Structure 1
Amino acid sequence: MVDLTILESAVSKGAVCLDGTPPGYYFDKGHGEGVNNWIIYFLGGGWCYNVTNCLDNTKTNRGSSKFAPKQKIFYGILSNNKTINPDFYNWNRVMVTYCDGSSFTGDVEEVDPATNLYFRGARIFHAMIEYFLAEGMKDAKNAILTGESAGGLPALIHCDRFRALLPNTPRVKCLADGSYFLHRKNNKEMSYMETVNEGLINLHHSAKMLPDSCTSKMKPSLCLFPQYFQDGIKTPIFIVNSMFDTFQINITFPGYFWDLLNNTCPASHVKTLQDFKQEFVSALPKQFNTSSRGMFIDACLFHVHIVRGNIWNALSLYDKTMAKAFSDWYFDRSLVQFIENRDLPLNCYQFPLKTSPCS
């Protein structure tokens, strides 16, 4: 169990949660050979894209550090268990709370007196990184920026910024888990996602934080979809995602997830899911045979992976666990661009048994 620490100094920088409380983090200090290595992990928590939604978030840990758990268990890539996490167990491992509702992209100076909402996610990102630079990360030999879902998206959006803040660190790379949100072109369900994106950008003033390699070519609401901006990221990135990501399945095909989880797969689902998988795979990076892009794309009915129970050290593709696949890529031992050869999703909740509800 790792204790919560509130970063009180962030308030003076205007880096606060939706309700104005200072952000928090959980920190397990490195030791031995890992003392000069760092992992910064950003928790997810969805977006708030209108005032009502954001006010609701302030009543939870998604909008206020007042409700953040006092302790967190560090699993997976954050675990201090050498058997589970042999390459990173003794690193400095930081988990940052998620309370801004914007994937750490908001930066609005004014506070509406009618709502008292603060849209300062980008400031939280910078305040946290600056704090840990001063705590020793500036001398890091190795560093990883990572996160899950809405907290994994900034691992892509801010990846080059993170690299720039560590000019003397030999190896800096980024890892996004469950964050490769797909834009389905000419699809009615995705008109909803574009509306959500536009709401977030207008409310949080996020456009200025998005990669200009993307916003110079298309409207900012599309530049929250990694498929449109990942090729402009200069720092090496690794994508962990299910091709049947449950968050995206739930939004795009309401009801499908529960059918699949209950091991029922009506014939009407099969073609729809196969088409979705093909769209997802087609949207992945095309830079094959290069160390700048790594991938571990499975077919499990999961949303996030790398700090989820024993998934990190047990889920395998091509006879290599996720933990081994990522560490081999990170330390330049091998190229890793794994995409599971499945056309339909797998129910992996009875892990390690993987079964297909559609077989």
Structure 2
Amino acid sequence: MPQLGVEVLTMKVLLVWLGIVVVVVSSKASEAVEHRYVNASDLNLLEAHEAGRAAYTLMVGLTLIQTAAAQGAVCLDGSLPGYHLHRGYGSGANSWIVNLEGGGWCNDVRTCIYRKKTRRGSSAFMEKEIPFTGILSNKAEQNPDFFNWNRVKIRYCDGASFAGDGEHKAARLQFRGQRIWMAAMEDLMSKGMRFARQALLSGCSAGGLATIIHCDEFRGLFPRSTKVKCLSDAGLFLDATDVSGGHTLRDFFSGVVGLQGVQKNLPRTCTNHLDPTSCFFPQNLIAGIRTPLFILNTAYDSWQIQSSLAPTTADPGGNWHDCRKNYYRCSGSQIQFLQGFRNEMLNSMKGFSRSNQNGMFINSCFAHCQSERQDTWFADNSPVIREKAIALAVGDWFFNRAVVKDIDCAYPCDNTCHNLIFR
């Protein structure tokens, strides 16, 4: 296919520049397609819009929120926050998708100082335009239910899933995620979102966690007559035991919550009975959310395997080195450990799944973030459960066409996955 050849060539140029490769492997494809990502030491190792772009992809410009500084709603370095907005039309003119960008977190002064000198901590380093693909695409054949909606991506430049509120004067760090969230909502409401007939809050990874945290707040912006729902993609981070018997992610989240003043912005339904760090874990939030919520997640989340379950700090002997990068190289006992993680994920959703208003799509893939990448959202060889692609499952749930509670069989049964392999 000539078009694929051009795209792969473009990606190879990018890969030479970055010097790092991740391969996406589809069981249905005859060849691997290369994609880029940033250094694995950065928690943003798998963000969705990094996955490459075709020459014809819609590129959308950055808008800085000029009123934000007066509200103290600034990025880590004190710069203005921003978003990318592509207007809807026709039947979607009064419908809105607000997508919260992901990109990891910073849990101490050192990592936050590093972060503020990147696009994850300063609008000075943000791309002036970004591609809108997957759930943000403007093409009906790529995004059948939401292509003509108003589509917004809010840039992530705080480091606590849009939930912190504090500062570190000595290090000149501003932890203002909650204020950025509020300033962005206020600005979008002034640009017509207050007239929305239907609205969907979404996000992937750290943005998926932010979607869960802010879901009910988002619902509260609109009159009761507006249909409002939320979609969390790859945001179901578990308070899981790592391969050394420790709790790597809990320790990390504890630093994020404590440093950035997150506690006061977490849902009271959780903090009334659990500690703040526990309430930064979605498994302790999802059952208490009143707004309809859809959980899209892989049962073998690549980010959680690499950074929570089997990070190098918990694997000093390097026993998980190969498995962490390539699931084909996992031993039988390692696969058994990962099956236990899948079971823990499914158990964490039991209460959530009892509500008919909620939806879920848990596929047995080694991946992370599937709604913003075209190949996993809606394409000829997209991942499916019972022959239904993710885009169609989400659309059926949002428009009440069907109850969607799709749980895949355990690995290795799914041959439609776009699994990630690192090298």
- The normalised TM-score by structure 1 is 0.92
Once the two structures are overlaid, the 10-residue window that deviates more, 57-66 or 273-282, is 273-282
Which amino acid is the alignment partner of residue 276 of structure 1?
Answer: F
1:93-172 to 2 correspondence within 5 Å?
93-108=151-166, 110-112=167-169, 114-172=170-228
SS at match of 1:310: helix
Measured after TM superposition, the shift of residue 289 of structure 1 is 5.6
Once the two structures are overlaid, the 10-residue window that deviates more, 251-260 or 116-125, is 251-260
8 Å Cα contact 1:299-1:346 kept in structure 2: yes
- Alignment match, 1:31: 89
Unaligned runs of 5+ in 2: 1-58, 312-320
Q: Does 1:77 align with 2:135?
A: yes
Deviation sequence 1:197-238 (CA, Å, 0-9, x none)? 221111111011111111111111011111111111000000
Q: Aligned residue pairs: how many? A: 349
Unaligned runs of 5+ in 1: none
Q: Does 1:296 align with 2:354?
A: no
SS at match of 1:9: coil
Measured after TM superposition, the shift of residue 194 of structure 1 is 1.6
Which amino acid is the alignment partner of residue 65 of structure 1?
Answer: S
SS at match of 1:276: helix
Q: Does 1:332 align with 2:390?
A: no
Once the two structures are overlaid, the 10-residue window that deviates more, 178-187 or 66-75, is 178-187
- Alignment match, 2:257: 201
Q: Does 1:46 align with 2:104?
A: yes
The 2-side partners of 1:58 and 1:186 are apart by 29
Residues 287 and 56 of structure 1: CA distance in aligned 2, closer, same or farther (over 3 Å): closer
Which amino acid is the alignment partner of residue 173 of structure 2?
Answer: L
Residues 355 and 319 of structure 1: CA distance in aligned 2, closer, same or farther (over 3 Å): farther
The 1-side partners of 2:420 and 2:102 are apart by 28
- Alignment match, 2:324: 257
The 2-side partners of 1:343 and 1:111 are apart by 45
Measured after TM superposition, the shift of residue 184 of structure 1 is 1.8
The 2-side partners of 1:87 and 1:305 are apart by 16
The 1-side partners of 2:326 and 2:126 are apart by 33
Measured after TM superposition, the shift of residue 164 of structure 1 is 0.6
Which amino acid is the alignment partner of residue 69 of structure 2?
Answer: V
Which amino acid is the alignment partner of residue 74 of structure 1?
Answer: F
Once the two structures are overlaid, the 10-residue window that deviates more, 58-67 or 282-291, is 282-291
Measured after TM superposition, the shift of residue 9 of structure 1 is 1.4
Which amino acid is the alignment partner of residue 257 of structure 1?
Answer: R
Measured after TM superposition, the shift of residue 130 of structure 1 is 0.8
The 2-side partners of 1:143 and 1:64 are apart by 28
Residues 182 and 100 of structure 1: CA distance in aligned 2, closer, same or farther (over 3 Å): same
Residues 202 and 290 of structure 1: CA distance in aligned 2, closer, same or farther (over 3 Å): closer
SS at match of 1:195: helix
Measured after TM superposition, the shift of residue 192 of structure 1 is 2.2
- Alignment match, 2:386: 318
Residues 309 and 117 of structure 1: CA distance in aligned 2, closer, same or farther (over 3 Å): same
Which amino acid is the alignment partner of residue 47 of structure 1?
Answer: W
Residues 115 and 211 of structure 1: CA distance in aligned 2, closer, same or farther (over 3 Å): same
Residues 227 and 246 of structure 1: CA distance in aligned 2, closer, same or farther (over 3 Å): same
The 1-side partners of 2:135 and 2:92 are apart by 13
Residues 52 and 111 of structure 1: CA distance in aligned 2, closer, same or farther (over 3 Å): closer
The 2-side partners of 1:284 and 1:170 are apart by 27
The 1-side partners of 2:174 and 2:413 are apart by 40
- Alignment match, 2:17: none
The 2-side partners of 1:290 and 1:211 are apart by 19
The 2-side partners of 1:48 and 1:181 are apart by 16
The 1-side partners of 2:147 and 2:217 are apart by 25
Once the two structures are overlaid, the 10-residue window that deviates more, 290-299 or 184-193, is 184-193
8 Å Cα contact 2:243-2:310 kept in structure 1: no
SS at match of 1:158: helix
Residues 126 and 89 of structure 1: CA distance in aligned 2, closer, same or farther (over 3 Å): same
The 2-side partners of 1:52 and 1:324 are apart by 43
The 2-side partners of 1:198 and 1:181 are apart by 14
SS at match of 2:304: helix
8 Å Cα contact 2:239-2:247 kept in structure 1: no
SS at match of 2:175: coil
Q: Does 1:89 align with 2:89?
A: no
The 1-side partners of 2:180 and 2:342 are apart by 35
Q: Percent identity, aligned pairs only?
A: 41
Q: Does 1:284 align with 2:340?
A: no
Instruction: State the superposition RMSD in angstroms.
Output: 2.0
Residues 190 and 355 of structure 1: CA distance in aligned 2, closer, same or farther (over 3 Å): closer
Deviation sequence 1:263-288 (CA, Å, 0-9, x none)? 33323322112212111111124344
Once the two structures are overlaid, the 10-residue window that deviates more, 249-258 or 226-235, is 249-258
Q: 2:332 aligns with which of 267, 291, 308?
A: 267
SS at match of 2:173: coil
Q: Does 1:10 align with 2:58?
A: no
